[in-house]
Amino acid sequence: MYAVLIFVAATACVRLMPERIFPEGDSVHLRYTMLRELEILEKKDSPPKLALFGSSRSVEVQTDALATASGLTEKEVVNLSRPGNDFFFIKAVIERNPEWFSELDMILIDILPYQIMVGENFTESGAYFLRNASLDQKLHARTSRYRLKAILDLIVPAWSKSQHPFLWKMGIERLGMSDGETRESIESRPLRDIANRKSLQDEISKSRREGRIMHHMAYIIFTRSIISYSQISSLHEIRALLPDSCEIALVSLPMDANIHAFIDENPVLRESNEALEKAMSELPSSDFGQYWYPHPEDLDLSQDDYVHDGLHFEPKGTSLVTEEFGTIYKNRDKAGIAGTP
């Protein structure tokens, strides 16, 4: 009897444990997300009017420049872009901090094919999915094994709350910290994910010399076309979580012309791109604004405005993208879709 009570009490404590005491969690992407989220919590007295939830392509967008382009003050703008961002992650951040997004006029999301698919960036078996997925999403996991795991985890959180004992110690120490102290604690931790940074940089340098880095990026972004129910449903949940007056602007930014040519020549990548376009075309225009810029010249971008991978932007390219984000915000009350998939 006592063993059962101890088990129930321990399970309840683990389930109620605040997630943000374990930011080292699943990956470097999650750690980066948690740091950005803690920065928001430190400024909770100033809910934004415009939130940018972009991918790594939008990380370098400066809030002061975006504010100027949008006709807002810097306090009214927040950039929550992060590498590997997707709809499921965005939904989870808004769910954890609903009051902070209660006055939004617009949320900007730069879209890429990987964001709606199962792949390296998103799995339905990881701890982050199990902690943040709705029951509906868990029941629609892609395989019966994932669905069973999700259901068992509802009873005993053996996977969603599983952490190394050392991380438990660190997490418990953080319980008494302020948001600022917690962020400093996380920032002081080395990133295990990039412990082999030198070998990674050597590989990138070699890829650059051989002209392979652009193709490598294309394969990362245009992953296998296995559509994720959780990602698509998360997009609809984001709509439900935000004020009715808030526009969700889905923005497809152009890539270097060489990447476009490579995608057109590769049937796997082309299929992935077509899957994104089809999924976006099925969204109701009353709930989502879409802004498609298929060619660099649509934003006056030249090849020099891209870095070596043909996907991310040099400072001038980032400035041009920022100006367009500002224009989209200013024109937010105008119905319709800019461009076509």
What is the pTM for the complete model shown?
A: 0.78
Task: Name the residue range of residue 320's domain.
Answer: 42-120+213-341
Q: Which residues contact 36 (CB under 8 A, 6 or more apart)?
A: 80, 82
The verdict on residue 155 lying in a domain is no
Q: Is residue 303 part of a domain?
A: yes
CATH of the domain at 277: 3.40.50.1110
In a domain, 94, yes or no: yes
Q: What is the pLDDT of residues 157-173, one digit of tens each?
A: 777 766 555 555 655 56
Cα 160 versus chain centre, distance: 19
247 and 337 in contact (C-beta within 8 Å)? no
Beta strands in the chain, from DSSP E residues, in sequence order = 50-52, 77-79, 106-110, 247-252, 288-292
Q: Kindly provide the b/e burial profile for residues 206-218, where b requires at least 16 CB atoms within 10 angstroms of the residue's own CB.
A: ebeeeeebbbebb
In this prediction, the residues of the chain whose per-residue pLDDT falls under 70 are 1-36, 39-44, 120-121, 161-225, 334-341
- Identify whether 144 is part of a domain: no
Number of domains in the chain: 1
Tell me, yes or no, whether 186 lies in a domain. Answer: no
Residue 10 lies in a domain: no
Residues sharing a CB contact under 8 Å with residue 263, sequence separation 6 or more, in sequence order: 218, 222, 269, 270, 273
Tens digits of residue pLDDT in 65-109: 999 999 999 889 999 888 888 999 899 889 888 888 999 999 999
Q: What would the pLDDT profile of 192-214 be if each residue is shown by its tens digit?
A: 443 333 444 454 444 444 445 55
Judge whether 230 lies within some domain. Answer: yes
